[in-house]
Amino acid sequence: MPKSATPTHCPYCALQCGMNLTVGPDAGVEVAERADFPVNRGALCAKGRTAPALLTSRLRLTSPLVRKGGKLEPAGWDEALDRIAGALDGARHKHGPDACAVFGGGGLTNEKAYALGKFARVVLGTSQIDYNGRFCMSSAAAAGTAAFGLDRGLPFPLEDVARTGCVILVGSNPAETMPPALRYFTELRENGGTLIVVDPRRTRTAEQADLHLAPRPGTDLALALGLLHLVVAEGRTDEAYIRERTTGWEEARAAAMAHWPEYVERVTGVPVPQLREAVRLFCAPESAMVLTARGPEQQAKGTDTVGAWINLCLATGRAGRPLSGYGCLTGQGNGQGGREHGQKADQLPGYRKLTDPAARRHVAEVWGVDPDSLPGPGRSAYELLDALGTDIRTLLVMGSNPVVSAPRAAHVEERLRALDFLAVCDVVLSETAELADVVLPVTQWAEETGTTTNLEGRVLLRRQAVAPPEGVRSDLEVLHELAARLGVEKGFPADPEEVFEELRRASAGGPADYSGITYRRLAEENGVFWPCPASERPVGAATGDSTGTGARTGGSGFSAKGTPAEVHPGTPRMFLDRFATEDGRARFVPVSHRPSAEEPDEEYPLLLTTGRVLAQYQSGAQTRRVDELNAAAPGPFVELHPRLAARLGAAEGDPVAVVSRRGRATAPARISAGIRPDTVFMPFHWPGAGRANTVTNPALDPTSRMPEFKVCAVRVEPVDRD
Ligand code: SF4
C-alpha cells in the first residue's frame, strides 16, 4: 500500500467494497486495490472504480442556493440556514410540529441517520420522518422480524454463501448490482454447490445458474408455496428441527398444502418438473440458503412473499444452522445501518420500537429529554410524500432523490411543488434539489469520516481521504447549525466520532447493539459485526467460529476513547443457538397467494417490472454525473421479448412508450429473448420522459408499507421518431 493511501469504502451499494484512495500531486484522487478487506478482496465494479470522479465533478455544488424571484441563486451559509430554520420554525408554530417533515436516505452514514432521527424528534418534535430505505428492504425486515424476532439482512457473512450446498437467489441480479459479490456464487458452484435463480428475466446472474425459474412478476409468493407443498408431499421436511426450533408449523403447512403444483404452474408459468427439480436441488445437500432482494420484496405483498421463502427454510431445517439460513441482499450503501438508528418512521436507535415504553425511556435518557415528549410513529415514506402540501407544509430532504426514485413519481413531484418550503442537502443539484427553496452543498464519502453497516451487518469505518471543497459543509454540521437556530444548543455535535459515541449508548441493550464498537476497533479489525454489546453476549446470537473480519491493521490513528474493558468479538453468525424471539424459536407465518394490486386487462395487457443496470446506481443522482458510467449506460430502455416487439412492429432502438394508469415513460426498445413475452422491463435510474417510476404503482404492503415497484399493468405503444 503506498504511504499516502487511505483505506476506505465505496460510496455506493451495500457490499461497501474496501478500496484505498491516494491523492496525487495534482490533487487528483486515485482508487487502488485494497486486498485486506475480506468482502471484495480488492475487486471493484465500474461504479466503485470511477467513484473519485464525483469528488472533482464540475457539477458539484460548492455554494448554498436560495430561491429568489423563482430562481435558485448562490447565497451565503448563514442566509441559507436562516431561511431553513425560519421556515421550519414558522410551520411548527403555525400548524404544529407535524407540519414539518424530514426525509432521509439509506446512503447516509450511521451517524447522520442517528442525528437526523434525533433532530426530527427532539428539535422539531415531529413524527413525520421516514426515508428511502422504506423502498429498499422494508418487506424483508418485516418478514425477518416476524419469523426470527430480529432482522439483520444477512445473519451470516457472505463467505458462507460459497460454502453452502445450494442457494435459491430470488429476485436479485448481483452480476449488475454488486458484481464483486458474484464471486461467492461462482465459488459455490466450484465447490460442488448449486445455484437456483428466480427471476422473470434471464439476467446475467440467471445465466450462471444451475436452474433458472422465470415466474410471472408478482407470483413468487405462489412459487415459494408450491415448493413448500412439494417438500411436504415428498417427505422432505425436517421434523425434529420443526419440533425443537419453531412454532406455528401446522397453520403454515395447511396454507402451503392448498397450493398444488399444477395450480402454481398455472399462476406462475413455471412448469411442475422445474418445481420438482428446485426442491431436489435445495433439499439434497446438508446445508442450503434462500437469499432475496428487491424482486420479491418490492410488492404490495412483499412481507408475505419473503415470509413464504422463510417458511421454506424453516420447514427444511435451513435457518440458524451452520452454512444455512435466510438472508436479504440489502441494496443501498448503508441500507442496513440506515434502518437501525432512528430515521425510520416507527423506530428509535438500536433498532428499538418507537411504541415500546422501555425503549422510549432509554433513548430519552440518552437524549436528555422527557420520554413523553417524543412523538409516536409517523407516516411511511410514500404516505409522507403523498401528504406533502396538505398537513405537511415544509420538508427537509437529506440523501434522497424521490423525484426519480419514488413510485408514481409525477404525483410525488406535484406534491413536492405544493409545499410551502422545501430544503435539500445534496452533493449535486438532483432533480429533487431543483425544486427546492434552499439547497445546501454537503460533503460526500471520501471527504468525511463516518460508519456504515454493510449487507452482512458488518459495521465499517469509511475514512476521510481528501479535504472537502471550499464552501461545502457536512450534514452533521448542517444539523448542528439548524438545531442551534431552533433553540437546541447542545446534543448535535458536528464531529462524527462524538455522534457515534452517543449512538453506542443509545443502541446499548437494543436489538442492534453497537455499544461494544469503537472507531478504533473498526479501524484495527477492519469492521465488527453487530450485535456487539459492551460486555455481555447478546440474546438470540451466537458468536460462531470466527469473527469473520480481516486481519488487524494496527496504527489506526484513533484513540482508545470508549473502548470497553471487556471486548465482545461481534456476531458474524446469528441464531445458531436460538432465535431472537421470546421463546428462542422461529415462527412460521401462514401465508397464501393473492394477485398483485394491478393485474393485466384489455386496456393494460402487459406487466412492467423495474430494476437496475451495472453502470448506474439508484436514482442516478451521483452516477449520471460520471462520464465513464454515462457512456456505458447513457439512458433508459424498454426490454421486450421478440414476439411482443414483432406484434408492436418495434425494432431494436425504436422509441416505445410504456403506459400505465399513472402515466407514460418513453425509451428505446431493447429486444431480448431472455424476458417473458407477457412482461416488459425498465431500469429506473433516469428522470424525464424515460422515468420508469412515472408508471409504477404506489399500492402499499399492509405491514411493511413497501410500494409495488416490481409489478404493474401496462400497455406498450410505438412512438413516432421526431
Ligand atoms: Fe462494490 Fe457496490 Fe461499490 Fe460496486 S458499487 S464497487 S459492488 S460497493
Q: Atom 7 of ligand 1 has which residue's CA nearest to it? A: 178
Looking up cell 479501524 gives 523
pLDDT for position 1: 44
Cell representation of residue 566: 471487556
Span from the CA of 550 to the centroid of ligand 1 (angstroms): 18
Q: Atom 6 of ligand 1 has which residue's CA nearest to it? A: 48
Nearby residues of 391 by Cβ (< 8 Å), 6 or more positions away: 95, 98, 99
pTM of the predicted structure, to 2 decimals: 0.94
Span from the CA of 42 to the centroid of ligand 1 (angstroms): 11
Q: At what angle do helices 357-367 and 496-507 cross, to 10 degrees?
A: 150
pLDDT for position 566: 61
Span from the CA of 628 to the centroid of ligand 1 (angstroms): 15
pLDDT > 70? residue 3: no
Architecture of domain 65-135+334-529: 3-Layer(aba) Sandwich (3.40)
Looking up cell 403506459 gives 659
The domain spans of the chain are: 6-54, 65-135+334-529, 138-329, 606-718
pLDDT > 50? residue 541: no
What is the pLDDT confidence band of residue 27, given thresholds at 50, 70 and 90? confident
95, 101 contact by CB (below 8 A) = no
C-alpha pair distances (Å), 220 with each of 194, 199, 411, 581, 650: 20, 9, 29, 27, 30
What average pLDDT does this structure show over 573-593?
Answer: 96
Ligand 1 atom nearest to 181, measured from its CA: 7
pLDDT for position 537: 45
Nearest to 210 by CA among 226, 236, 180, 190: 190
Q: Atom 2 of ligand 1 has which residue's CA nearest to it? A: 13
Q: Atom 4 of ligand 1 has which residue's CA nearest to it? A: 45
pLDDT for position 245: 98
What average pLDDT does this structure show over 560-579?
Answer: 81
CA 204 to chain centroid, in Å, comes to 21
Helix (H, G, I), strand (E, B) or coil at 102: strand
Cell representation of residue 407: 413510485
C-alpha pair distances (Å), 150 with each of 315, 345, 512, 584, 720: 19, 18, 9, 11, 52
Pocket around ligand 1 at a 6 A CB cut-off: 10, 12-13, 15-17, 40, 44-45, 47-48, 178-180
- Please give the share of the chain, as a percent, with pLDDT higher than 70: 95
pLDDT > 60? residue 23: yes
Q: Is 240 exposed, middle or buried (0-12, 13-18, 19+ CB in 10 A)?
A: exposed
Cα 329 to Cα 336: distance, rounded to the nearest angstrom? 10
Q: Per 3-state DSSP, what percentage of the chain is helix, strand, and coil (rounded to 5)?
A: 35, 20, 45
- Please give the share of the chain, as a percent, with pLDDT higher than 90: 90
The amino acid occupying position 176 is: E
pLDDT > 90? residue 544: no
What is the pLDDT confidence band of residue 556, given thresholds at 50, 70 and 90? low
Place domain 6-54 in its CATH homologous superfamily: ADC-like domains (2.20.25.90)
Architecture of domain 606-718: Beta Barrel (2.40)
pLDDT for position 561: 61
Nearest to 38 by CA among 460, 446, 465: 460
Nearest to 232 by CA among 204, 207, 259: 259
pLDDT > 90? residue 553: no
What average pLDDT does this structure show over 344-352?
Answer: 94
Per residue in 664-682, pLDDT (tens digit) is 999 999 999 999 999 999 9
What is the pLDDT confidence band of residue 554, given thresholds at 50, 70 and 90? very low
Span from the CA of 260 to the centroid of ligand 1 (angstroms): 41
pLDDT > 80? residue 4: no
What average pLDDT does this structure show over 696-717?
Answer: 96
What average pLDDT does this structure show over 553-582?
Answer: 76
Which residue of 13, 19, 40, 456 sits with most ligand 1 atoms within 8 Å of its CB, as the best mutation to test the pocket? 13
Helix (H, G, I), strand (E, B) or coil at 541: strand
Place domain 138-329 in its CATH homologous superfamily: Dimethylsulfoxide Reductase, domain 2 (3.40.228.10)
pLDDT for position 551: 38
Q: Which helix (H) or strand (E) holds 382?
A: helix 381-386
For 197-240, the three-class secondary structure string (H helix, E strand, C coil) is: EECCECCCCHHHCCEEECCCCCCHHHHHHHHHHHHHHCCCCCHH
pLDDT for position 705: 96
